[in-house]
Every structure is written in C-alpha cells, then in structure tokens.
Structure 1
Amino acid sequence: MFTIEHDFDATVITLIDEGGPHLQEDVTISAFEDVVTLEQVDPRRDEVIRITLSMAQIRDLAAALNLPEGSYRLARPGE
C-alpha cells in the first residue's frame, strides 16, 4: 500500500509494508525540485534514517531497474 501527497515544495510518497510476517517500517519518499529524500525509522535506535539522492542518481536508479548486471554510464543532456 502507498499514499501520495502533493505539498507546496515536494511530492511525498509513503510506502506501507503489508508483505508478510516480517514487516518493515514505513518508508517516506519526498521528491523536491533538486533532490529526493528517503526516510525510515530505525526501531532499534528509535531515530529516523535519511538518505538524500540527487536527480542524477534518481535517473540512474530508474535506468538500473531495467538493465542487466553490468557497469553503465548514462549520457547526460549536452554530452
């Protein structure tokens, strides 16, 4: 299950694990104009873990989901 909210400066997607007996904490993805952040609570430390990705990293991730094993470099606009 997931939710989508459009805030003033970001689109926020929350992924809710419904997958089975070993459920993970919710993941919140906030897409801003220049970065995307992923947040998840670490229940062992009771704190939020945050990962920040650049838009270039997001493009690479999207491409990687559809490619076989290997090493790649995507052409950037203007290259």
Structure 2
Amino acid sequence: MFTIEHEFDSTLVTLVDEGSPHLREDVVINAFDDCVTLEQWEPTTDRMMRVTLSLSQLRDLAAALDLPEGAYQLTRAPQGE
C-alpha cells in the first residue's frame, strides 16, 4: 500500500509494508525540484535514517531496475529525436 500527498514544495509518497509477518517500517519518499529523499525509521538505533538522491541518481536507479547485471552510463538523446 502507498499514499501520495502533494505539499507546497514537494510530493510525498509513503510506502507501507503490508507483507509477511516481519514487516519493515514505512518508507517516506519526498520528491523536491532538485533531489529526492528516502526516510525510514530504524528501531535498532532509534533514529530516522535518510538517503538523498540527485535527480540524475534517481534516473539511473529507475533505469537500473529493468536492466541485467553490468555497468551502464545513460546519455540524453539530442533535441528533436
């Protein structure tokens, strides 16, 4: 399950783990104009953990989800193609 909320300066997506009995904490994804943050509560350290991705890293991650093992570099197609 997930929720989507549109805030003033970002879009907030919350992923709720509804799976097996060993459920993980919710993952909160905040999409800003220049970056995306992922946050998840870590109960063993009693802290909120945060990862910040640039838009370039996010684009690479999206592409990587559909590719086989290997090393890749994405390039933009020239305008008009």
Paired position in structure 2 for 1:4: 4
CA 1:9 to 1:19, structure 2 compared with 1: closer, same or farther past 3 Å?
same
* Alpha-carbon distance in structure 2 between the residues aligned to 1:62 and 1:26: 20
Structure 1 runs of 4+ aligned residues shifted over 6 Å read none
Q: Secondary structure at the match of 1:44?
A: coil
List runs of 5+ in structure 2 lacking aligned partners: none
Residues 1:75 and 2:62 aligned together:
no
RMSD: 1.1
Paired position in structure 2 for 1:55: 55
State the TM-score, normalized to the length of structure 1: 0.94
List runs of 5+ in structure 1 lacking aligned partners: none
Question: What is the count of residue pairs matched by the alignment?
Answer: 78
Identity within the alignment, %: 64
